[in-house]
Amino acid sequence: MNRGVLYGVVAYLMWGFFPIYFKALQIVPSLQIMFHRVVWSFLFVMVLILLRRDWTRFRDSIVKPRILLVYLMSASLLAVNWLIYIYGINSGQIVETSLGYFINPLLSVALGVIFLRERLRAMQWVPVGLVALAVLYLTLQYGSLPWIALALAFSFGMYGLIKKVAPLGSLHGLSLETGILFIPAVLYLLYAESQAHGSFGNLGWNITLLLAFSGVLTALPLLLFARSARIIPLTLLGILQYIAPTVQFLLGVFLYQEPFTLTLLVGFAIIWLALLIFALEGIYYRRKTTIAMPATQL
C-alpha cells in the first residue's frame, strides 16, 4: 500500500474509533475532557518541536499579530468542535455526530463558493441541494434542527476554511492553536480541582491515564493526515475521509445500539446519495479533463 494512503487510512480509522475512547471517559464532564485534550496535545506537540530542534523557527513565526489572529479564530473553532463532539458521544448521540461529518465535505464546498469565490460545476449543485433537503427533512420530522450534526459540520468546515489560508504548517499550526487555549484550559482545570470537581487523579488511575493520553490521541491522527495530504492526491484523500463517519455510524448503531429510526434512515439516505453523486461527478470530470489534455496541448 502507498505510504500516503496508509497514513490517511490510519488517521481516519483513529478518528472513526474515537467514540470508544471517549465513551470510556463518560464519567468525566465534557468540558474537562476537552480542556485535557488541549493541555496534553500542547505538551505532546511541543515535545515534538523540541525533538526536531524547530523551536526557533516556531517562535519567530508566532510573534506576528496577523498569524496570532488567524490562529485565535481557528483555535476557537477547534475548541467548539471538540466540545460538541465529546458531548454528542457521551450523551448517546454518536449517530448524529457521524451525520455531521458526512455533511461536512459538501458544506466545505459551499463555504469555498461563499468565501473563496470558487465555482461549482452544474452537477455539483445537485448534491449540495440534496444535503440542504436532508437537513430540512430531518428538521421538519423532529421539529428541531439536528444541532449537534450542524454544529460539528459548521465548526469543522469553518476550521478547514481558515486552515486553507493559514500560513503555518500542520505541526506549528496545531502547536499555536493548543498554545492559545493552554492557559485558559489549565486555569479551568485548576479551578475544577479547587472546587473538588476535578477528575484527574481523583477517579482512578485508568481515567487519569486516558485523560493524559488524549493528547497523543488528538495530535497523532492530525499529523498523519497532514503527512498523507502531502503524498497522495487531494481527490483520493477526499474519498478516504468517509472512513471516519462511517465507522462512527456503525459504532453508534451496532455497538452502542442507538436508535436508528426510519426518519434518520431517510435523512442519511439522501445525504449518502448526495455524496455518491458528488464523487461520481468528480471522477467523470477528472477523466474527461485527462482525455482532453493531449488534444489541447496539440
pLDDT tens, 65-122?
888 999 999 999 999 999 999 999 999 999 999 999 888 877 877 887 888 777 878 8
- State how far Cα 176 lies from the chain centre: 17
Name residue 208's amino acid.
T
**Residue 29 burial (10 A CB sphere; 0-12, 13-18, 19+):** middle
Q: How many domains does the chain have?
A: 1
C-alpha–C-alpha distance, residues 293 and 94, integer Å: 45
- Nearest CA among 66, 76, 62 for reference residue 184: 76
Domain-embedded: residue 186: yes
Report field, pTM of the whole predicted structure over 0.85: yes
- Nearest CA among 26, 108, 47, 65 for reference residue 278: 108
Domain-embedded: residue 29: yes
Instruction: Return the sign of the alpha-carbon dihedral for residues 222, 242, 260, 281.
Output: positive
Grid cell, residue 260, equals 436508528
**Tens-place pLDDT, residues 116-151:** 777 878 888 888 888 889 888 888 887 778 899 999
* Residue span of the structural domain in which 137 resides: 3-293
Domain-embedded: residue 114: yes
C-alpha–C-alpha distance, residues 4 and 240, integer Å: 11
Grid cell, residue 247, equals 465507522
Residue 226 pLDDT > 80? no
Domain-embedded: residue 90: yes
- Nearest CA among 109, 46, 41, 25 for reference residue 78: 41
